[in-house]
A and B are shown apart, each in its own frame.
Chain A
Amino acid sequence: MKSTQARISFGRGLAAVAATFALLSGAAVAQEPIRIGAFLAVTGPAASLGDPEQKTLELYVERINAAGGVLGRKLQLVSYDSAGDAEKARTFAKRLIEQDKVDVIVGGTSTGETMAAIPLVEAAQIPFVSLAGAIVIVEPVKKWVFKTPHTDRMACEKIFIDMQSRKISKIALISGPGGFDKSMRAECLKLNAKYGIDVVADETYGGGDTDMTAQLTKIKNTAGVQAVLNPGFGQGPAIVTKNYGQLGISLPLYQSHGVASKEFIKLAGAAAEGVRLPGAAVLVADSLPASDPQRAVAVGYKQAYESRFKSDISTFGGHAYDGLMLAVEAIKRAGSTDKAKVRDAIEATRGYVGTGGVVNMSASDHMGLDLSAFRMLEVKGGNWTLVK
């Protein structure tokens, strides 16, 4: 439970003095701050996503305030840790709306948390930018709900297109028990026929499993398999990749955007070489060509985050950056924090360049990303590289 304001960096006493001066001089600081509400899975099973999201929001609220705030008003972040629990997320969303009276909500690390909060947000009519992946959040379109991350459907499409270009037509799936794994597996199984790809094996593993060689041996001995796809996040995909190396399987291995962070490469070690996955441009910020529209944003975010927290960026923090910026830009364009105006302004977002891609929202598309937002990445020499 934290609330962040620029004045925190001054220390309490100084801040009080500063505030008094501000009041005396009649400066804009005296106005009510703009309240940004957030509920994030800072702890719990989705902590590797929620933690960078929380840090990113804190960092950028501070930076925006240091630069003078928005509409002459400071931002105030009210953030709660929902620990990946949908029930807690619902409670915190309620508190944000009724008690903290926030102007906009950015948050919901996982799809479960987001979906639990949606009925409340819709009823209270507050603009809500979710940071979760699944397509159900914006399909069907809900009036007050937007999201920043790419969907699992897009990930499947991107991977299948890459497979087509490598003349791969028979693949094996191996996935875990999580909501993300299941949802992406289902999306891929809906789309594969469209791209002329046969799924000839479909294996699964359990939540705390420490070894997947049995499943992979089965895949290895399935006739005709040309590539393996592992939709999942957390440690499962790292173990799959390690076991893949151990068994000496030479087929191309595809992972999902769920493991798009440096951590995955560290965990899987040498076995990660050659693994491909669809990911956001921010992961390869430094190797983007100068002509790339996302280069400036991606490099800027990477430098700001890494110099502050001394840890590698992930796409997840990037989603939070995009969510905050979409809301802030919309408030600027709306010229007020009137909830209906801000909502309309978010929906009218065109050509916003974020870490996740170029966002073009519309009344029928509350995510606004197309396939160009995904880059096909390959692990080479212990780092992400762009596949040409």
Chain B
Amino acid sequence: MSAQFMQFLLTGLTVGAIYALVALGFSIIFNASHVINFAQGEFVMIGGMATVSLSAAGLPYLLAIPLAVAAAALVGLALEKFAVEPARGASVVTLIIITIGASIFLRGLAMMVWDKRFHALKSFTGDAPIAIGGATILPQSLWVLGVTFAIVLALSWFFGRTLLGKAMLATSHNRLAAQLVGINVRLVLFLSFGLSAALGAIAGILIAPITTTSYDVGVMLGLKGFAAAILGGLGSGIGAVVGGLVLGIAETMSAGYLSSAYKDAIAFVIILAVLFFMPSGLFGNRGGERV
């Protein structure tokens, strides 16, 4: 019984950590622009697919992974430069629609550049399952959890200790005030796309050995990441992480103990319930919008 619980928990944490990374990407862009970037899932896909094709070309992971992350970041920057920035004066809804268009475009492009097949990435450090308290976990899951943890630490250092990070944070709190004190908010928006694309790509690379990847893998992961961000409170870093983990664990627990047929439904019922009683999510900026 407890071994079973342990298995569900470990699985939930692994899945949840990926949701958290995707959710963080949503939050960073939301903070900088109040735009929900629906192309976030595509960054996840680009990370995974680029690593697959680079390592198939013979590059070692140590080279392929940074290159893939850089490629995704470039795509993110280009998206901001060529699609979002020209529409700067437009309403938030218009911008969101632009990101939806971009996601369809990127997906189509990936289908042409790569192919329509599913690809598996080799695990970073072998496939021998590790037993923990009667449950088993793949070494790759430890990578997922470890890297997610490291990224959360790095991000909190970035936003709390560096000038650029503080500038981004300031922009999220009050765009006009930030502009008045000399922060280049356009640069902040530009960089936020690069940063969240890189985060998405890392998520895509970490998960690819476990789940396989393909040109349309971003659709579902993007949706789940969005749900996690909403659950945690859009724009909140800690909220994104907690939201992701809660969603992951809720999914596996309900698949394990209740019914796998209603797994997704149960996860979304939890989200609805949270939003009903706490409209801005678990860690959202309560009441801030009402002023």
Contact = CB atoms under 8 A, between A and B. Distances in A.
Interface of A: 43, 45, 47-48, 51, 203-211, 213-215, 217-218, 221, 234-235, 238-239, 242, 245-248, 263, 266-271
A43 B114 CA distance: 13
Contact of B11 (A204, A214, A268): A214
Contact of B261 (A204, A214, A242, A269): A204
Interface stretch (B84-92, B215-223, B278-286): B215-223
B216 A206 contact: no
Contacts of A263: 117-118
B118 A208 contact: no
A174 B111 CA distance: 30
A214 B253 CA distance: 8
Contacts of A203: 260
A48 B118 contact: yes
Interface residues of B, number: 41
A8 to B, nearest CB: 21
A204 B260 contact: yes
B248 to A, nearest CB: 9
Contacts of A213: 7, 11, 252
B256 A45 contact: no
Interface stretch (B67-75, B161-169, B173-181, B205-213): B205-213
Q: Is the interface of B mostly helix, strand, loop or mixed?
A: helix
Nearest to A265: B120
B116 A214 contact: no
A134 to B, nearest CB: 21
Nearest to B107: A43
Contacts of A43: 111, 116
Contact of B118 (A248, A267, A271): A267
B220 A267 contact: no
A322 to B, nearest CB: 22
Q: Is the interface of A mostly helix, strand, loop or mixed?
A: helix
B264 A206 contact: yes
Contact of A238 (B207, B212, B252): B212
Contacts of B253: 214
Contacts of A221: 4
Contact of A246 (B4, B138, B264): B138
A285 to B, nearest CB: 21
B111 A210 contact: no
Given A211-B11, A211-B211, A267-B119, 13 more contacts: A205-B263, A207-B220, A208-B217, A208-B219, A208-B223, A211-B210, A214-B252, A214-B256, A218-B4, A246-B137, A246-B138, A247-B7, A248-B129
A10 B73 CA distance: 44
A269 B14 contact: no
Interface in B228-284: 251-253, 255-256, 260-261, 263-264
Contact of B136 (A214, A234, A247): A247
B170 interface: no
A147 B106 CA distance: 36
Contact of A217 (B8, B111, B129, B217): B8
B220 A211 contact: no
Contact of A239 (B117, B211, B220): B211
Interface in B182-221: 207, 210-212, 214, 216-217, 219-221
Contacts of B118: 48, 234-235, 238, 263, 267
Given A267-B120, A269-B127, A218 B256 contact: yes
A235 B211 contact: yes
Nearest to A42: B116
14 contacts: A48-B118, A205-B255, A209-B220, A211-B11, A211-B210, A214-B8, A214-B256, A214-B260, A218-B256, A245-B129, A247-B129, A269-B120, A270-B127, A271-B127
A271 B209 CA distance: 13
Contacts of B251: 214
B35 interface: no
A7 B210 CA distance: 46
Given A210-B211, A213-B7, A238-B212, A48 B252 contact: no
Contacts of A205: 255, 260, 263
A348 B140 CA distance: 56
A270 B8 CA distance: 23
Contact of A208 (B12, B115, B210, B224): B224
A242 B260 contact: no
Contacts of B223: 208
A206 B263 contact: yes
A271 B211 CA distance: 13
Contacts of A51: 115-116
Contacts of A214: 7-8, 11-12, 251-253, 255-256, 260
A54 to B, nearest CB: 11
A239 B14 CA distance: 14
